[in-house]
Amino acid sequence: MTFGRLDRAGTYLVLCTFALIAIYPILSILFLALHRKEDLVTGFAFPTRIDLSSFEAAWTEGNFATGFKSSFIVAATVTAVSAVLSIGTGYAFGTMRFTGDRIVFPIILLGIIFPYEATVIPLYYDFSDVPLLHWHLLNTYWALILPQIGQSVAFGTFWMRAFFRSTPRSLIEAARIDGATSFGVLGRVLLPQAMPAVLTMSVLVFTYTWNEFLLALVLVSGSESHQTAPLGLSFFAGASRAGDPTKVAAAAVLVALPILVVYLFLQRHFVRGMLAGALKE
Partner 1 sequence: MADEDLADAARPDPVAPGASRRRRRGGAGRAPGDPRNVAWLYVLPGLAFYVLFTLAPLLHTVYYSLFDWDGLTEKTWVGLANYSEALRDGVLRDAFLHSGILIVYYAVLPVIIGLMLTAALTRSAIRGFRFFRTTLFLPQLIAGVVIAQAWIWIYATDGPLNRFLELIGLGSLTRPWLGDFTWALPSIGAIGSWVTFGLCMVLFIAGVQKIPTSLYDAARVDGAGAVREFFAVTLPGLHNEILVAFVLTTINALRNFDVVYNTTAGGPGGETMVPSMYMYQNAFLYNRVGYAAAIATVLAIAIFILAAIVLRVGDRSERT
The rounded distance, in Å, linking the Cα atoms of 184 and 202 is: 23
The dihedral sign for the CA sequence 274, 275, 277, 278: positive
Identify residues 56-75 at the interface with partner 1 (CB under 8 A). Answer: none
Q: How far is CA 146 from the centre of its chain?
A: 15
Among 76, 80, 116, 224, binds partner 1 (CB under 8 A): 116
Q: Does 144 bind partner 1 (CB under 8 A)?
A: no
Q: Does 49 bind partner 1 (CB under 8 A)?
A: no
The dihedral sign for the CA sequence 142, 144, 147, 152: negative
Choice between 186 and 189, CB closer to partner 1: 186
Return the range that interacts with partner 1 (CB under 8 A); candidates 47-55, 57-65, 256-264.
Answer: 256-264
Report how many residues bind partner 1 under the rule CB under 8 A: 113
Q: Least distance (Å) from partner 1 to the CB of residue 35?
A: 12
Among 73, 76, 80, 104, binds partner 1 (CB under 8 A): 104
Contact predicate 31/54, CB 8 Å: no
Identify residues 10-39 at the interface with partner 1 (CB under 8 A). Answer: 10-11, 14-15, 18-19, 21-23, 25-26, 28-29, 32
Helices 53-61 and 229-240, axial angle in degrees (round to 10): 110
Q: Least distance (Å) from partner 1 to the CB of residue 56?
A: 18
Choice between 1 and 107, CB closer to partner 1: 107
Among 80, 237, 240, 244, binds partner 1 (CB under 8 A): 237
Among 1, 50, 103, 107, binds partner 1 (CB under 8 A): 107
The rounded distance, in Å, linking the Cα atoms of 258 and 273 is: 18
Q: Does 109 bind partner 1 (CB under 8 A)?
A: no
Q: Does 195 bind partner 1 (CB under 8 A)?
A: no
The dihedral sign for the CA sequence 124, 125, 129, 131: negative
Contact predicate 62/236, CB 8 Å: yes
Question: Looking at this protein, which amino acid is placed at residue 168?
Answer: P
Q: Least distance (Å) from partner 1 to the CB of residue 11?
A: 5
Q: Does 188 bind partner 1 (CB under 8 A)?
A: no
Class of residue 3 by CB neighbours under 10 A (exposed 0-12, middle 13-18, buried 19+): exposed
Residues shown for the chain = 281
Q: Does 190 bind partner 1 (CB under 8 A)?
A: no
